Amino acid sequence: MSNVPGLFVTGTDTGVGKTLVACAIIRLLREKGVDAVGFKPIATGEVAGRWHDVDALFEASGECEPREHLCPMRYRAPMAPVPAARIEGIDPDISLAHSALAELAARHALVVSEGIGGLLVPLDRRTLVLDFIKLTGFHAVVVCKAQLGTVNHTLLTLRELERAKVPVAAVIMNVTRPEDEPNARPSVEEIERHGGAAVRAILPYVGASSDPEAPHTELVARAIASLSQQIKVTQLAGR
């Protein structure tokens, strides 16, 4: 997978807005004429037979692929991947996701993948999210939130990526609650001072969703309006 152009959107935690940012990047790239497609190796937390974060990636990708191609491993329980799979009597094997990603990359110019939770979430008995990113060869986009504690969480994430020799394309801070807005800029200054990576954008509060990892279409549109003023996505994607 190392020769396939791609970005991997990871987060400092769950609920930071990875899907929101991934969908905005995909949409912006497609608007620029880049055949970008979304991907998520594993999703958990079925709601009425649907995984809403997968639906969001499906819509952002222009519905160009079936949902099962965009996310090949889906489990019903709203838990971490390994225990969620075990409830269904499955011993997860992330090689299934690698195969699906390779097939998707063969049909599209660029893949924007997103993880689940943070870097050290196990995807199967042997593989962490960080291991999966490294095997793809993709550059990382780190999404953090403006809440208290974000400096520590973001610096830990950047340190792990550096240790694994995964290049960081961008850090994006997402304001997930309006009351956290005053904490955004001071936190960015500390992250940049100690983390060795520029925070390329601060995404203001764009509204509430019933699931912070599954944004409504209008929330993605608001994110696009903000990110397009701060980031050139074609440069972000190495184009």
- 40-72 pLDDT per residue, tens: 999 999 999 999 999 999 999 999 999 999 999
- Amino acid letter, residue 130: L
| Whether residue 212 has pLDDT greater than 70 | no
| Domain 6-236 listed as CATH 3.90.180.10 | no
| Predicted pLDDT at 210 | 63
- 10 Å CB burial of residue 95 (0-12, 13-18, 19+) is exposed
Inter-residue contact 77 to 116 (CB < 8 Å): no
Residues 107 and 73: their CA atoms lie apart, in Å, by: 20
The pLDDT tens digits for 119-141 are: 999 999 999 999 999 999 999 99
The pLDDT, as a whole number, for residue 225 is 97
What residues act catalytically? 40
Q: How does DSSP assign 79-129, residue by residue?
A: S-HHHHHHHTT----THHHHHHHHHHHHHSSEEEEE-SSSTT-BSSSS-BH
Q: Which of 9, 71, 81 is nearest to 44 (CA)?
A: 81
Where do the domains of the chain lie?
6-236
What one-character-per-residue DSSP string does 20-43 give?
HHHHHHHHHHHHTT--EEEE-SEE
What does the alpha-carbon distance between residue 99 and residue 107 come to, in Å, rounded to a whole number?
A: 13
